[in-house]
């Protein structure tokens, strides 16, 4: 009788194990379909550590990448994303999804990177200059950084360029304690001002922030206006949005939930604007003005953008992915000045003196 009972128990255990394995395979298949490519850390590893924040953040950035790529492809069905998985010999890797020369989008890139290793001296110096006290062990600082970042440059000058980036950083100090923080934001760069679009964009981001704390949107809206400032031109890169960095309170879980709300707001804040204007007619003069504004975009990204600088200073980083934010075409004309009271002068006024779009 005892042996029979043991046999039954063994049979039951085997069935449960087989069911669990089948469930795992099903889950893996579903995740593969949800993403643009297999995650850098591997699905099994992510599932094994699924309660850890690092794994949850990696799943979030993978989901955000897929959501945005699918939303863009739905608007530009003739175009498709080239999906490029890459490895970094110093640790980690990434997935770059780039669409070029579509009907609606001239260039759209949505990148995920999950990298680890030792922080370069230059990158550590950049962080210390922002007030980070980093206590290295034998001059070494192990780090882990992951994020999703995207820049979308449409063909039509009446459709704005959009950028977003959400990231998580962890550094281990000499005594084994870990410093962590989140950063990111979403911002809009129109060639021509459309007040209704500006209000929709800011309102969607404000709603995402307000779920967590009504003080966040005004603070991060101002930070965005200050950050995307092209000092040598005396103008902002665009009409802003939200931007934050070094966010490490009230708690890891609360900050993660806030970042998740912001990431989920990307598609609803931007896609309706693209749909509304992607078939608008435009003149060669309007196209020229778009090219000149793109030149300003390039100036900001190469001279001031902290993410670009960090990428260029990190050994083994993938230059193609870092410079994915640059447009396919741009233009610099000597001493170009728009006519007074023109549509071109109108956007310049807002770039020089940022407005409050929602209250």
The per-residue pLDDT for range 275-292, each reduced to its tens digit, is 999 999 999 999 999 999
**The tokens of 203 are what?**
């309102």
| Lowest-pLDDT range of 191-205, 310-324, 336-350 | 310-324
Which pLDDT score, from 0 to 100, does residue 16 have?
83
Q: Considering the chain, what percentage of its residues have pLDDT values greater than 70?
A: 95
Write the DSSP assignment of 78-142 as a string of letters: T---EEEEEE-TTSEEEEEEEEES-SSEEEEEEEEEEEEEE--HHHHHHHHTTT-----BTTB-E
Write the DSSP assignment of 206-249 as a string of letters: HHHHHTT-TTHHHHHHHHHHHHTEETTTTEESSS-EEEEEEE--
More confident residue, 296 or 311: 296
The yes-or-no answer on residue 202 being catalytic is: no
Taking only the tens place, the pLDDT of each residue in 127-180 is 777 777 777 777 788 899 999 999 999 999 999 999 999 999 998 877 878 889
Give, in order, the Cα–Cα distances in Å from 239 to each of 204, 209, 313, 338.
14, 18, 29, 18
Q: In 3D, which of 186, 42, 184, 49 has the Cα closest to residue 114?
A: 42
Q: With a cut of 70, say whether residue 3 has pLDDT above it.
A: no
Q: Which of 163, 200, 202, 277 is catalytic?
A: 163
Distance CA 61, CA 167 (A): 8
With contact defined as beta carbons under 8 Å apart, do 348 and 235 qualify?
Answer: yes
Q: In 3D, which of 104, 107, 157 has the Cα closest to residue 344?
A: 157
CATH topology of domain 32-352: oxygen-dependent coproporphyrinogen oxidase (3.40.1500)
pTM of model > 0.95? no
């Amino acid at each position: 009788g005892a042996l029979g009972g043991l046999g039954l128990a063994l049979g039951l255990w085997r069935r449960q194990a087989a069911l669990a394995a089948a469930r795992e395979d099903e889950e893996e298949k579903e995740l593969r379909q949800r993403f643009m490519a297999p995650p850098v850390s591997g699905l099994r590893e992510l599932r094994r550590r699924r309660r850890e924040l690092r794994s949850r953040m990696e799943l979030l950035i993978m989901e955000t990448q897929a959501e945005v790529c699918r939303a863009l492809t739905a608007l530009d069905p003739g175009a498709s994303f080239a999906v490029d998985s890459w490895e970094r010999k110093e640790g980690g890797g990434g997935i770059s999804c780039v669409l070029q020369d579509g009907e609606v989008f001239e260039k759209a890139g949505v990148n995920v990177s999950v990298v680890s290793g030792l922080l370069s001296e230059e990158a550590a110096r950049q962080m210390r200059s922002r007030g980070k006290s980093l206590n290295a062990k034998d001059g070494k600082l192990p780090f882990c950084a992951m994020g999703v970042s995207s820049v979308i440059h449409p063909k039509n000058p009446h459709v704005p360029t959009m950028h977003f980036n959400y990231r998580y950083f962890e550094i281990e100090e000499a005594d084994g304690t870990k410093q962590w923080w989140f950063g990111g934001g979403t911002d809009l760069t129109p060639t021509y001002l459309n007040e209704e679009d500006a209000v929709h964009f800011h309102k969607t981001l404000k709603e995402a922030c307000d779920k967590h704390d009504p003080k966040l949107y005004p603070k991060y809206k101002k930070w965005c206006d200050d950050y995307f400032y092209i000092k040598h031109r005396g103008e902002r890169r665009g009409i802003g949005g939200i931007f934050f960095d070094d966010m490490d309170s009230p708690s890891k879980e609360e900050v993660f939930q806030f970042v998740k709300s912001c990431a989920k707001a990307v598609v609803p804040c931007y896609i309706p604007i693209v749909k509304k204007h992607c078939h608008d007619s435009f003149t060669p003069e309007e196209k020229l003005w778009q090219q000149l504004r793109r030149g300003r975009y390039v100036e900001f990204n190469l001279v001031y953008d902290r993410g670009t600088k960090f990428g260029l200073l990190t050994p083994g980083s993938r230059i193609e992915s870092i410079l994915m934010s640059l447009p396919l075409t741009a233009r610099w004309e000597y001493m170009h000045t728009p006519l007074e009271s023109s549509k071109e002068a109108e956007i310049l006024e807002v770039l020089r003196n940022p407005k409050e779009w929602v209250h």
